[in-house]
Structure 1
Amino acid sequence: MHAPSRKAFYLTNLGVPLLLAGMVFVLFDLTQLDRLISNLLLDPTTGQFPLLHNQWFEKVTHKWPRILPNWTGEAAIIGALLSFIWPLLAKYPRAANSRALQSLRITPVLRLSAKHRRDFLYVVVAFALSTTVIHYLKSHTSVYCPVETTLYGGSQLRTEWYENFTWFSKAGEGRCWPGGHASSGFTLLALYFVALRYRWQQARKLLVAILLVGFVYGTTRVLQGWHYMSHTFWAGIFVWLSSWLTALFFYGRLALQAPALRPPKILPTLSVSAMPASLRPE
């Protein structure tokens, strides 16, 4: 199986996200679609979002899910740090520290971390870059959350991100665009690009699962009135671009577009009794 062409690679990984960005901008940012969706979630009697102050829902959908990206990032940092220990042990095998670590039988872990140092460092950088991009956009657009605006009982005026955007200075106190909780789920896209590097057969299924996690993270905040639906789409687009560009720097295009490895075919074996007489050993 031949690897896709360079054109197909960039159309898929860059062209599709940019096309989605254009569609989100036209369908959501230039219309009232976000507000219409949020209005459907309001309690008609109180005019409030029913789940806004639900502590159980907040804990289950906002606080607990943070464990997944947080632990992934922490594991990558620990793995990256450990990856520098094994080369020192190999260089000075008779040193007291080296003998002590070998006696604890953790050298296989250190050897494995050194082998995958690039992957650990990639995940760390991808997480950091994605988080930086999201925080930059939040502070340079000053978009307030729905429940903070006068539309839903708040004190701030609703504005679109492009109305306040500034390149080099903070636009204001609003911090709602793109969706931060959704972006924390989408940061796991870094694992998808690691899977691509190793040509893992299940990489596409992993991608679907990660996208689903990000959309679930974002949608729960929409249900509470803390975000509009478009904020989730924008978060996914920016995190994808950040993770993909970082992967391109760490691994290169050819590694990321190599076809998935196929499991070896197992040829059926015939028992001696099932063989033709002319092929049976004497």
Structure 2
Amino acid sequence: MTQIPAASDSSRLPSIQVKTLYPLPTRFYGYQLFILVALALLFSWLSRDETLDRIITGYWYDAATQRFPLQHNALLDLLNHRLAKYITIALAVMTLLCGLVRRQPRLVTGALLMALGALVVGVLKSISHHSCPWDLVEYGGHAVGYPLFSAAPAQSGPGRCFPGGHASSGFMVMGLFFAFWRDRPRLAWSFVALGVVLGLAMGYGQVMRGAHFFSHNLWAGWWVWFSQVVAYGLISAWLAKE
């Protein structure tokens, strides 16, 4: 008579390791709420009259020719505006494919959170009345600029320049934090640091071209991280109940 192996005999069963999504500790969300509120207050203060933005942007504007000398710089456009963005997008796609092949929900979620961060900024940018510096009257354009919380003037121009869409392509790397936080916390926080550095660097490249004010990039990072934290909290809490 053939003996059927017991269900508890794991040595005879195929092993499939699937890293599920675990909710982050409650204190993590408490810290993030405090940090996000503090940063929102700081960024609001910096954006109140655009003084800092105009100081930084003025450094890259040539008043004599009434243009931004680096606006059409081929090297800056290639390395910062195109190549850097393509690399971060490729990283998100590779993470998604790796997560699907290896059946690791954390990697899939990390990739989707990267896309979500960029998507949120893209939607906000598409409905914004704030125009880019190179469109404003003081920088040789025809649009009228205005502080962040002021009413949009009738001559606000083409708009669609706030928050910084290109910077979000760098900041979205922070979403990989949620793929590694449980097993490799140092690596997870390294992705947060990398995302901040990439977002600020890529965003500043746009400042040099006259495409964005510096505060546009700060708010892009804020919205990316806010959306990622909220989305992961909701998803992990729902899966924990299931």
Q: Which residue of 1 aligns with 2:206?
A: 221
Question: Larger Rg: 1 or 2?
Answer: 1
> Is 2:195 the counterpart of 1:176?
no
Counterpart pick for 2:135 among 145, 148, 155: 148
Alpha-carbon distance in 1 for matches of 2:95, 2:187: 21
User: What are the within-5 Å matches in structure 2 for residues 1-282 of structure 1?
Assistant: 6=26, 8-79=27-98, 83=100, 110=101, 113-114=102-103, 116=104, 118-163=105-150, 173-252=158-237
Moved over 4 A (4+): none
Alpha-carbon distance in 2 for matches of 1:216, 1:127: 18
Aligned-pair identity in percent equals 29
Moved more, 214-223 or 154-163: 154-163
Q: Provide, for residues 68-116 of structure 1, a one-character-per-residue CA deviation record: whole Å limited to 9, x for no partner.
A: 2211222244345xx3xxxxxxxxxxxxxxxxxxxxxxxxxx4xx11x1
- TM-score of the two chains, using structure 1 as the length reference: 0.68
Alpha-carbon distance in 2 for matches of 1:240, 1:190: 8
Q: Provide, for residues 154-210 of structure 1, a one-character-per-residue CA deviation record: whole Å limited to 9, x for no partner.
A: 111113443458xxxxx9841110001100101111112222132433333332222
Amino acid at match of 2:143: Q
Q: SS state of the match for residue 88, structure 2?
A: helix
Instruction: Indicate conservation of the 8 Å contact 1:122/1:250, yes or no.
Output: no
CA RMSD of aligned residues (A): 2.6
Inter-CA distance 77–202: structure 2 relative to 1 (3 Å threshold): closer
Instruction: Indicate conservation of the 8 Å contact 1:139/1:172, yes or no.
Output: no
What is the aligned length? Answer: 213
Please report how far the alpha carbon of residue 11 of structure 1 lies from its aligned counterpart in structure 2 after TM superposition.
3.5
Gaps of 5+ in 1: 84-109, 166-170, 256-282
- TM-score of the two chains, using structure 2 as the length reference: 0.78
Gaps of 5+ in 2: 1-23
Alpha-carbon distance in 1 for matches of 2:187, 2:111: 22
Inter-CA distance 159–184: structure 2 relative to 1 (3 Å threshold): same
Moved more, 180-189 or 41-50: 41-50
Amino acid at match of 2:167: A
Alpha-carbon distance in 2 for matches of 1:61, 1:15: 32
Q: SS state of the match for residue 201, structure 1?
A: helix
